[in-house]
Structures are given as C-alpha cells and as structure tokens.
Amino acid sequence: MAMIAYKNPDIQVYVYDMNQNRINAWNDADYNLPIYEPGLVDVIKAVRGKNMFFTTEYEKNIQEADCIFVAVNTPTKHFGMGKGRAADMRFYESCARQIRATIKEGRKIIVEKSTVPTRTAETIATILNSNQNKAEGKEVVKFDILSNPEFLAEGTAVADLEKPDRVLIGGQNEEALNALADVYASWVPRERIITTNVWSSEMSKLVANFFLAQRISSINAISAICEASGANVAEVSKAIGTDSRIGPKFLNASVGFGGSCFQKDVLNLCYLAESYHLQEVADYCYQVIAMNNYQRRRFVERLVATMFGTITQKKITVFGFAFKKDTTDTRESSSIYICKQLLEERANVHIYDPKVTKPQILNDMKTMMNGNYDGDFSYPLNSHETQLVDKHLFVETDPMEAVRDSHAILIMTEWDEFKTYDYNKVFDLMQKPAYIFDGRRIMDIKQLSSIGFEVFAIGYSSQQSSPFL
C-alpha cells in the first residue's frame, strides 16, 4: 500500500487495522515501524500524512473508498477439518461480513490481497451480495471482486515492488480489472501486468510458491547425496543453474526454508488437491514439506553424530533466528525447529540474532515447545517442555558472549555480519574442538579450517578426495 501511495500521489490510501497499538506503531513519530524491511522507512516518510494514513477509524474510510484491499492473514488451521493443511479463513470471512454490513450503496472494488484457497473470491462474492434487496429488483451496492496476489519476498520487498516480474490481477469485470491495472501502470510496464480469470490468479499464487519451495527441497535432497558422496552442492547448483531452462535462482541448499508462506501455501495446495480427490497430486506436493522437515532433522542428526553422539549440557551457539536475513520475521524459521531439537537433547542453547528481540525469541520457543499453537496460550501449557526453555535457552545480545566457552556455532540465518567477525578471537573463546555447522553456506570453509575450526556445511563433506583422481 505504501508503494501504491508513493507511486500515485493522487490516490489517497487509508490503512485500517482494528489493533490500535499496531496503528500507533505505524504512526510512530520517530519512524520506529513495527516491521524491519530495508528501504521501507523512506517510502513511509515520503507518503505518511500526505496521501497515506494509518487509522483505526473503520466506517467512514470504508464507505468512502472506491477500492478495498483485504490483506488479513490466512494461517494454516490448527484444529478441526483440514487441521495442519487448510487455510483458516475466519478472519477473511469476517472482513467480508463487516464490509457488507458497512456499505449501503455505490460501487466498490474488493481486492483479495491475502493468499487464499482457489475459489475464495466466489465465497466473498456470495457473502457480499447476500444482503441485496432482490425482491425489488434493485442492486443497491455493486461489488466487483478481484484477485491480486502479492509476489514480493521479505527483505527485498521494496525492490521487488519497484520492479516486479509481473503484477497479476484476476477478475471478471473488465472495467474493474482496468481500474486496478491503471493503479499499477503508474510505475509497472503494461506488458508486465497480467490479467486472468479470478481462479487462475488465486491458483497461480499457490503454484508459484509451490514451485519455489520445490526447487529448495530438490536441491536440499541433493545436498544429502553430496555430503555422502563427496560432491559439493554449491558447485552442483552453479553447474545446473547455468542451463537457461533451469536458471540459477532458488538453488541455495539450506537448513530448510522458513517464512510464513511456503509451508502454508504448499499445504494449502495439498488440501485443495485432496478436496478434489486428487490424492496422488496431494502426495506429490506434500513431499516438498516432507523433504524440508527431513533437512532440519538431518542437520541436527549430523551435528550430534559429529560431536561424539551427545550434545547434552554442551553450550551450543545459534547464530540467527529470523527465517532469512534482513527481516525480523521469525515465522516458521528453521532456527525454531532446530533449537527445539537442541533443547530436546538438553543442550544449553545460546541464541544471537542481530535484529530479532528477546521477547520474540522466547515467545516463539515456548510456543514451539508447547505444540506450536500459534502463540495461543489458552491451551494447557506443557510444563515439562516449556521448562526446557526456562532452563536451557539463553538469548544473547553480544555475539562474543554467545560464543564464549561454546562447543559449536550453528549458522541458521545468512546475516552478513556473521561473515565479518574476528574468527581468530572466536576460536580462542571456544571449547576445543571448536565446531561450526553452516546451515546457510555463507562461511569461508578454507579460512576457518586454517584457523583450526572443524567446519561442516550443508551439502559439503571435507572427505579426502580419492587417491586415484
């Protein structure tokens, strides 16, 4: 919305949220915004108070709007039918009901911005149009529903929005489609604005994330073979990525993908396939998630095996908690899953992240140890598991303190600063043998080995090459 306001000074953008604290944070006088995203603060500075406003005032703004973007979250359901796979649509539906109750006349374009299951637009249209006075044959309010999924990635959001590969708009009504296309056309070349029917647009969002996640799971599967066989997954990625049909992006082997989208959307696609009785399709899609879970487990298994079969009571330093660099977002971060396994082994886990706060880390870990109920503590706390966090988990603010007397460093997020530390000093501070397990492949293995570290990276084995080669 900030980018739309920035590129269209003549359009007034009102961002409504029922949460006053969140709106206050967006209105913060010193621009301490509630999320960290490179470049975002400059865009907000340029538009806030001019043609962009953050507000908790609902009725007036909704009534006056020509176009309403619905961008509430659609998390994976953790209960009931479709538990663990389907999207929880209750926030979405309640938005539709609220809009219907508020708007009494006129014509409005409703834009689905959240990632939603295919055919959601139809559900929304049914709710929105269910209050029309059909008996008198009058249509007092006309709603046009458009799907306009977002393809930006966190950490590069502003750049992605500035130069999107494409903008996708799905809908039936030509006039509404063109109205929204015009908003984007103020900075996106027309040929990059794709229009489709509404179902194709909804489906394309899920499929794009499925394909991206699938590439990561594929290269992660190969990373396991590389470790066993002596090949180096980075070299394999480079070699195959030069084939223009494959392409170089999203071939970085890692400790598993995280973030709020990939797992949720792939599971959503699985659920969709199941609901159409396409079990083979669902099973195929699910393997992307199964491989991601395996990669996380495998990382800790390798760690424990390398460290003489036990990490109990050993100090393990975790560098990085965010799901990727340049964001404070921790949703579905592999670091959370890895730390859970470390705690289950009764290791003493010391976490350092340059941006993620201590309350966030503690909340995430307690939620995870408590069965991952999305922070809903109305469920009975599993005291034993939660106690592991209290007793064995420490959040550090100084990386050098985090490594003091540590047995191993785990690189969980690819923050640039991890590459710049004085590793001679780090080596001196650590227990020996000093291990580094690089889950992101960002460290200089040769240099660290020459200092004396035992270095293990995803998809790489320091095995001696064959004497016959």
DSSP for 153-208 reads: -TTSHHHHHHS-S-EEEE-S-HHHHHHHHHHHHTTS-GGGEEEE-HHHHHHHHHHH
C-alpha distance across the termini of the chain, in Å: 58
Distant-in-sequence, close-in-space partners of 271: CB < 8 Å, separation ≥ 6: 82, 85, 86, 87, 117, 282
Give the total of residues touching ligand UGA (CB under 6 A): 20
Q: Which is nearer to ligand UGA, 47 or 251 (CB)?
A: 251
Q: At its nearest, how many Å lie between ligand UGA and the CB of residue 103?
A: 28
Does residue 454 sit in helix, strand or coil?
Answer: strand
Nearest to 144 by CA among 177, 193, 187: 177
Q: Which stretch binds ligand UGA (CB under 6 A): 146-154, 285-293, 343-351, 458-466?
A: 146-154
The pair of three-digit structure tokens given for residue 291, joined into one six-digit string: 């491989």
**Of the candidates 255, 292, 251, the residue with the CA atom closest to the CA atom of residue 410:** 255
- The answer to whether residue 114 forms part of the interface with ligand UGA (CB under 6 A) is no
How many residues does the structure list for the chain? 469
> Per CB under 6 A, does 202 bind ligand UGA?
no
270 is catalytic: no
The residue from 1, 11, 153, 445 that contacts ligand UGA (CB under 6 A) is 153
Catalytic residue among 67, 95, 226, 261: 261
| 154 is a contact residue toward ligand UGA (CB under 6 A) | yes
Among 152, 179, 240, 362, binds ligand UGA (CB under 6 A): 152
Q: Supply the minimum distance, in Å, between the C-beta of residue 55 and ligand UGA.
A: 24
DSSP 437: E
Q: Closer to ligand UGA at the Cβ: 1 or 179?
A: 1
36 binds ligand UGA (CB under 6 A): no
Amino acid at 347: A
Task: Please identify, among the stretches 2-10, 145-153, 290-298, 350-358, the one whose residues bind ligand UGA according to the rule CB under 6 A.
Answer: 145-153
Q: Is 254 in the site for ligand UGA (CB under 6 A)?
A: yes
Q: Which of 162, 94, 108 is nearest to 139 (CA)?
A: 108
Task: Give whichever of 71 and 362 is closer to ligand UGA, judged by the CB atom.
Answer: 71
Q: Which residues are catalytic?
A: 261
Applying CB under 6 A, the residues found at the interface with ligand UGA are 115, 150-154, 209, 212, 216, 250-252, 254, 257-259, 261-262, 323-324
